[in-house]
Structure 1
Amino acid sequence: MTHITSISRDGRLIGPLFMIMAGALFAGANTAVQAAGMTYGVPSPTTAFWQYAIATVFAVPMLLRSSWQTDQLGWHLFRVLLAVFGVQAWVAGLAVVPIWQAIALLMLSPIFVSLGAKIFLGEHLGNGRLLAVCLGAVGGAIILKPWADGFSPHAFLSVAAAAFWAGSSLVTKRLTTTESTEVLTVYLLALLLPFNAFAALGSGFALGPDAFGIVGLAGLFTVAAQFCLAKAYSLSDAAYLQPFDHLKLPLNVGLGLLVFGFAPPGSMWIGAAIIVASGAWLVHTDNA
């Protein structure tokens, strides 16, 4: 019992488990969001609004029992603003881009985290880390294939989502030093709602019964995933968690193949492998 408790305390086991659960839940949410756009034709801002509105409803018990006291309101607002841009770019991309491509490009997030840490936090970006960033960019280019006839500029929406969510992750990690998992989840959901509502004004809020059901499922998965993600970051270092975050690729690819029949080409796995290698290089150089 003592051994298990010590593992739980330092995050070696429990943190990665929460990260894996978050990845599985996000895969379910992504598949539901893509179905809303591709199957039911729901505009992406409308989907984003209802996804997070319903997630907030599911989180009401947490909202009621959690303390809203914080000395970091400005950082919460900044985190949510970055998340809003990420959400809007992500949902818009999922409406037109195969899920395997969107998820593979989202794996560029650690590259943007390293660049953001250099630009905004003043962290050192040595030659090794710079080469790793360039390697990740090569992997992203292989997945995007801008030279191919079938290239769609919409794929850059997934790249933008990766960049904005990387910034949000940096702020989340900073806030875990003073804020609880519940407070992080509460402020994210509560503040996302008005921002997403504003973005949806142009497309409207109407949803058919079938579309509402699938978006509601996305909302349920989203609130559970956000809680697991914040819990993982509160227990373990971001660098330690990164390899477990890569499991989101096969999870999303599997669901995309099962639900939509999206089969990724071999170049996707090559590009993804290069991105994963660059992320591992970044972790190694950080720990060296």
Structure 2
Amino acid sequence: MTGLNGLRMPLMAAGLMVAAGASFAAVNVAIQTATMKLGMPSSSVVFWQYAAALACALPWLVRRGLSGLATKQPGLHLLRVALAVAGVQLWGAGLASVPIWQAIALVMTSPFFVIIGAWLLLGERIGFARWAATLLGFAGAMIILEPWSDRFQLAALLPLGAAAFWAGASLLTKKLTAFEPADTVTIYLLLLLTPVNFGLALAEGFVMPQGIGIAAIAAAGVLTVVANYCLTLAYSRSDAAFIQPFDHLKLPLNVFFGWLAFQYAPSGPFWLGALTIVGASLYVMHDEKSRAPQRQTDTEEARA
């Protein structure tokens, strides 16, 4: 019975990771419906998406009170939000311009930007194998982008920009969660994102959603919360090394959802590029797992 219970938790975590990927895929369909199909400015869609997500998170804030906002790192929160704003705005603009399958494959290059950021900003040592995996991952992105063909459009670079800024936000998230609860880090993101997104929406020409747009944006906001909640639960129920490969299922899920909603069909080179990106990121994950014991030893020696 103990063995069964021990197996049940990782399987539940894997299911939650898949549920998070499916929820994010549905969010992308909702955003693309509002932007590409209904013609709403991407900045307005992003604002309404995160405003709806904040509305879902407000009960938590009311229950915790001001104590949930206690922080000793206000500067890091502001910098993280600035990077996140750039990421979500570029992502929304990308979904307004390119098919879901292309956008999601390109944003999966984020781990490679994290590696570069950790080298530049945190002074981490990056071995030859990691550099090779990073170059391979970006080579996969080039295969998907096909900058040498007539089909290439500059808007396809927007998801890559989103991946770069989200990588910076991820590095700061890692740093913040070493000192503060994950709930505090999350609520600060939503609280600060909303007014900044509102200002950007005003600058582009603020649009109120109507008709189907209301349903699409409401769904995007609710599913954003659902996806992040499933993601948090997944990491709380199993090791990251076990569940991280299930995160890559978001690629076929986005392809499937995009095909159902818009009849998008990826071209042949897409699959070669996508497999290259996934393979390189899986290697990075495996390398991170192998480094973890030595990193823990180094930390304990430093404390001693």
RMSD after superposition: 2.2
Secondary structure, aligned partner of 1:124: coil
Q: 1:133-282 residue pairs with structure 2 within 5 A?
A: 133-202=134-203, 203-233=205-235, 241-282=243-284
Distance 2:217 2:60 in 1: 21
1:97 Cα deviation from its structure 2 partner: 0.2
TM-score (norm 2): 0.86
Matched, 1:26 2:24: yes
Partner of 1:63: 61
1:185 Cα deviation from its structure 2 partner: 2.4
Checking the alignment, whether the CA contact within 8 Å between 2:47 and 2:197 is kept in structure 1 is yes
What letter matches 2:17 in structure 1?
A: M
Checking the alignment, whether the CA contact within 8 Å between 1:87 and 1:161 is kept in structure 2 is yes
Distance 1:14 1:73 in 2: 35
Distance 2:238 2:171 in 1: 14
Checking the alignment, whether the CA contact within 8 Å between 2:87 and 2:166 is kept in structure 1 is yes
Distance 2:25 2:49 in 1: 14
1:16 Cα deviation from its structure 2 partner: 4.2
1:144 Cα deviation from its structure 2 partner: 0.3
1:17 Cα deviation from its structure 2 partner: 4.1
1:226 Cα deviation from its structure 2 partner: 2.5
| CA 74–240 in structure 1, closer or farther in 2 if over 3 Å, else same | farther
Partner of 2:298: none
Secondary structure, aligned partner of 1:206: coil
Checking the alignment, whether the CA contact within 8 Å between 1:46 and 1:205 is kept in structure 2 is yes
Distance 1:101 1:192 in 2: 26
Structure with the largest fraction of helix: 2
Checking the alignment, whether the CA contact within 8 Å between 1:181 and 1:227 is kept in structure 2 is no
| Total equivalences in the alignment | 286
Partner of 2:91: 90
Q: Select between 127-136 and 166-175 the one with higher mean Cα deviation.
A: 166-175
| CA 218–201 in structure 1, closer or farther in 2 if over 3 Å, else same | same
TM-score (norm 1): 0.91
1:7 Cα deviation from its structure 2 partner: 7.0
Q: Select between 86-95 and 53-62 the one with higher mean Cα deviation.
A: 53-62
| CA 169–244 in structure 1, closer or farther in 2 if over 3 Å, else same | farther
- Unaligned 5+ runs, structure 1: none
Secondary structure, aligned partner of 1:150: coil
1:195 Cα deviation from its structure 2 partner: 1.1
Secondary structure, aligned partner of 1:59: helix
| CA 239–160 in structure 1, closer or farther in 2 if over 3 Å, else same | farther
Checking the alignment, whether the CA contact within 8 Å between 1:139 and 1:271 is kept in structure 2 is yes
- Identity over aligned pairs, percent: 49
What letter matches 2:176 in structure 1?
A: L
Checking the alignment, whether the CA contact within 8 Å between 1:185 and 1:226 is kept in structure 2 is no
Checking the alignment, whether the CA contact within 8 Å between 1:143 and 1:268 is kept in structure 2 is yes
Checking the alignment, whether the CA contact within 8 Å between 1:184 and 1:230 is kept in structure 2 is no
* 1:142-182 Cα distance to aligned partner (Å, 9 max, x none): 00001111111100000001111122222223333333332
- Unaligned 5+ runs, structure 2: 291-304
Checking the alignment, whether the CA contact within 8 Å between 1:53 and 1:219 is kept in structure 2 is yes
Checking the alignment, whether the CA contact within 8 Å between 1:16 and 1:241 is kept in structure 2 is yes
| CA 230–121 in structure 1, closer or farther in 2 if over 3 Å, else same | farther
What letter matches 1:116 in structure 2?
A: G
What letter matches 1:23 in structure 2?
A: G
What letter matches 2:108 in structure 1?
A: M
